[in-house]
Chain A
Amino acid sequence: MLATAIILFREVLEAALIIAIVMGASRGIARRGRWVAGGILLGVIGASMIALLASDIALKFEGKLSAILNAVILLSAVALLTWHNVWMKSHGRKLASDIATVGEDVETGRQPLTALMLLTFAAVMREGSEAVLFIWAIATSGQQGLDLASGALVGIVAGVLVGALLYRGLLRFPLRYFFSLTSWIILLLTAGLSAQAAGFLNQADLLPALGSQLWDSSHLLSQASLLGQLLHTLIGYIARPSGIEVVFYVGTILIMLILMRLFGKSNPRTERHQRVTIRQTTS
């Protein structure tokens, strides 16, 4: 049971951490919970479909398509997170002051709600398809069904709990710095996802490695350890990175910073036109 719990915990953890950060970063935006929940639901459906199709996909493309699929999902998340950070750059300050004066649940002119949903969808679909495949495999193998099912449940609950803890921890940060903190976390998280996408494209031989193992820090912090895995998800830690992964990582950070500077300026004129309405929390 413990072995099953650990495997499911690891599969769920990445999605849970990403959702926790996204929930934190979109703090104060009305109805975000509903959209994120919708994204999770769609993600589970998408994951199940991918898991069901996995053997067909592998048959036709010998693994190339699954690597491309993973890279596309990851790069979509990279694009959505980049957009989110650019959007927050111009709306974050207003959002923080609205939350401070009126409390949570702020209605803003253009809500990044669709982006939030798609992002959650992508995060759940990627890790979820592996979890679904694993659960399905142990379910059909018919060995100690109940024991394995309870193990799976424990793992999923533990993963979600770690995500919830991170979310609670984030919320303790003072509002003044809150959105710049989440923006920095998202910057590194996105760079990490981008590096992962590079790994998948290199695995399928679509990108060159540009040098294997630029450094080896596995003796300092193994990626197999829990801390190593947490940092892998949160800031993209790779103990033995290839050149292409580092290039994607650094390139994503630079591009995001440039886009945030170019398009993320607070413009007082557009802000006035946007007619930001605020309502009190009703639930």
Chain B
Amino acid sequence: MFGRGVVANLLFFVMVMPGPATAAAPTQAIAIHKDGFVPAQLELPPGVKVKLTITNEGDLPVEFESFDLSREIIVPVHRSVTIFVGPLRAGRYEFFNDFNPAMRGNITVKPANEEMN
């Protein structure tokens, strides 16, 4: 019962997906204080996978969420969690605390060729 759909899905993936990238991803830390994300605005490089380490230094649990990045994770009080984003295209990606939507921030990714001009 559990699964022909799932098994077939997984099989599908093994066939189409390239091997996982093994290069170490650059890391960016985000702290959550009582008043918001620190930093609330961050810039990430285009085209690479980035590891985000999110640490909750406040006294309430936080749900770090981003519709733009399809990311959603609970960050318990005084804990750190790690998620991966990207490789991202140039653009702006918003994130927020789903438990307190006034707490927000965004990621900016600049185009790769800008420096070459």
Contact = CB atoms under 8 A, between A and B. Distances in A.
B23 interface: no
Contacts of A212: 86-89
Contact of B83 (A6, A133, A204): A204
B98 interface: yes
Contacts, number: 147
Given A58-B74, A82-B5, A255-B4, A208 B88 contact: no
A248 B70 contact: no
Nearest to B8: A255
Interface residues of B, number: 50
Interface of A is mostly: helix
Contacts of A79: 1-6
Given A66-B73, A207-B17, A248-B9, A55 B79 contact: yes
Interface in A123-139: 130, 133-134, 137-138
Contact of B99 (A137, A213, A247): A137
A240 interface: yes
Interface in B31-88: 49, 54, 59-61, 63, 67-77, 79-88
The 3 closest A-B pairs by CB, nearest first: A63-B81, A55-B76, A223-B67
Given A63-B81, A79-B5, A202-B84, 7 more contacts: A54-B76, A63-B73, A66-B81, A76-B2, A240-B68, A248-B9, A251-B8
